[in-house]
Each structure stands twice: as structure tokens, then as C-alpha cells.
Amino acid sequence: ENSNIFNDNNKKYTYDLKKVLVVFDKYNVKIDKNIDDLMIETYLLNKNIKTDISYLANQYRYDIPFYDKEFGSEITIKEKDIDTVSTASCKKARFIYDMRFHFYEELIKEEMKHLYLDMELPLVYVLSDMEITGFKIDKEYLLNMKDEFNEKIKSLEEEEE
């Protein structure tokens, strides 16, 4: 049984809420919707964002190692000791905590609060549900489309010659 820590209606802050929702769903952890996502905020503000929070945090002089460099990719995961993992996690949490109002206030200043709250943030929940649920595809139909596209490409290349 999961505690109510994520359903207490206190404001929560994260970076990449969609990923959090997908992982929480995998472990059957429920979370309320009283959350701000720094990744979406900075996306709207045209910051140089990536899915790795380090890219953004290091622009603000936070010394956070890049995930792939420190921990590897999904294909080649590097095993790290608990101190390395906890230090990196604490630095990320510190950055989120320190900047939790900064980007939101910039959104207000740029008159994008409505866009963030009423469009982008709700879309995160839709996209996470789509990722969790998935969708069916007609493999045969897609293979036929591939053949049609290849024929069209070949035809266009021949026209160029």
C-alpha cells in the first residue's frame, strides 16, 4: 500500500512530469494533479531544454552530471554506487526546489500562464495516458504503406533524372 505522500494536495514540483507519471503507474503509485513541471515551463520559455535536467541546471551554475555520461544509456547502463546516485539526485532536487518559482514567474511575465496551465500541463496527462495504454496498429496496413511510399519515392527519383 502506497502512502498518501503524493495525494496530500500540497504543491509538488518536478522535471519531466510525463516520465514521472509513467513510472509511477508502473509501480501503481497514484499522484494528485497539484504539480508543476519545470521542463514544460522552460520549453514554453524557449530555454535550451532536453529530457536531461542537467542541460538546464548547468546553465544556472548547478554542477549536475549529464545522465548518459554518468549513468550510461538504456542500452549500456553503468552501475554506480549509492553515494553517486544520491548526490546526483539531491543536486537535481535542489535545482528544482531553488527554481520552482523562477520559471513560473517568467511565464506570467511573458503572459503564458494560461497556455501552461490550461493547455500544456493537461496535455502531459493525456500523453502519459497514451504512453501507458499504448495503441493498436495494423501491421499489414503499415507494410503496404511502406511499399506504396517506396514506389512513390522511386517514381519521383526517376522523374528527376
Q: How far apart are CA 36 and CA 29, in angstroms?
A: 18
Contact present, 92 and 53 (Cβ < 8 Å): yes
pLDDT of 42 reads 94
Query: Is the pLDDT reported for residue 37 higher than 90?
Result: yes
pLDDT of 75 reads 67
DSSP 37: E
Query: The cell 504539480 sits on which residue?
Result: 35
pTM metric for this prediction:
0.74
Query: Is the pLDDT reported for residue 2 higher than 60?
Result: no
Contact present, 45 and 107 (Cβ < 8 Å): yes
Shortest CA distance to 58 belongs to which of 67, 68, 66, 69? 66
What are the φ and ψ backbone dihedral angles of 37, each rounded to 5 degrees? -115, 105
- Give bridge partners of residue 13 from the DSSP assignment: 36
Percent share of the chain, pLDDT over 70: 93
DSSP 6: T
Q: Per 3-state DSSP, what percentage of the chain is helix, strand, and coil (rounded to 5)? A: 60, 5, 35
> The C-alpha cell of 149 is what?
511510399
In single-letter form, the type of residue at position 80 comes to K
pLDDT of 96 reads 94
pLDDT of 102 reads 96
Q: How far apart are CA 33 and CA 39, in angstroms?
A: 16
What are the φ and ψ backbone dihedral angles of 58, each rounded to 5 degrees? -70, -20
